[in-house]
Chain A
C-alpha cells in the first residue's frame, strides 16, 4: 500500500487530504497519474501536465522515480512560504 498526500490547493482539487492505494508491483509516476485519473480526472491531468511537484518519502521525485509498496507520495503545489 502507498500513501498519497495532497497539500494546499491540491487538497481542494482532489477533495481529500490523504488517500491510500494498493499496488502489486513498483510503478512509475506516469502509471500513478493514470490510476489517479480514473477516480479524479482533474488531479490526473495536473500531474501529467507537470503542474505540481511530487515527492516520494520526502524527497523530490523525478520522471524516472519508481514508487514502491510502503512509499509516501505527496503532491505539492508551488511553494509560497516566507516573505519578500
Chain B
C-alpha cells in the first residue's frame, strides 16, 4: 500500500491530504481547466444510531483492480483527462476522511459527471466493507447508505 501521491489508485491505512492529492493531479496536464472532487467522511449518525467508530476492510488486489477499472472507464466514457481514487481502510473516527475521488478535465461538465458516476460505481463494484460500532454493538453495513 503506497501513501505517495504518485499512484492514482490507492488503498491505505493512513489519512491523505486533499490539497496534496489535488495538486498532484494538477500536474498531469497543462490543459486542465476543471477539477471536481468527492470526499467521503465518517458521519456520526446512521439509521438513528450514534456511531462511535468505523472500520473498513477490503479484498486486496481485487479492490485495487476494480478502482483502476473505474478510473479507465471514467476517462473513456466522460472524456476527462484523468482521475485519482484513494480509499482508506482500518479504523476511522467520526469526521475523518474515508474516500477521495479527483476528476480532472478540460471543462467542468465532464468532471462533475465522471466524479458522481465513479463514487456510485465504486460502491457497486469494489469489494470494500464497512463495520460500524454503536452503543449497542458492532455491525457490518450491508446496504448502500
The answer to whether B131 and A8 have CB atoms under 8 Å apart is yes
The answer to whether A83 and B131 have CB atoms under 8 Å apart is no
The answer to whether B142 and A5 have CB atoms under 8 Å apart is no
Taking a contact as CB atoms closer than 8 A, the residue among B59, B61, B123, B140 that contacts A82 in the complex is B123
The SS class assigned to the B binding surface is: mixed
| B127 contacts partner chain A, Cβ-Cβ < 8 Å | yes
Name the residue in A8, A78, A84 with the highest tally of chain B Cβ atoms < 10 Å from its Cβ: A8
The answer to whether B122 and A8 have CB atoms under 8 Å apart is no
| B5 contacts partner chain A, Cβ-Cβ < 8 Å | no
| A33 contacts partner chain B, Cβ-Cβ < 8 Å | no
The answer to whether A84 and B59 have CB atoms under 8 Å apart is no
B145 to A, closest residue via Cβ: A84
The answer to whether A78 and B142 have CB atoms under 8 Å apart is yes
B51-68 Cβ-contact flags toward A at 8 Å (1 or 0)? 000001111011001000
Taking Cβ atoms with an 8 Å cutoff, the residues of B that contact A are 40-43, 56-59, 61-62, 65, 87, 98-99, 119, 122-131, 140-145
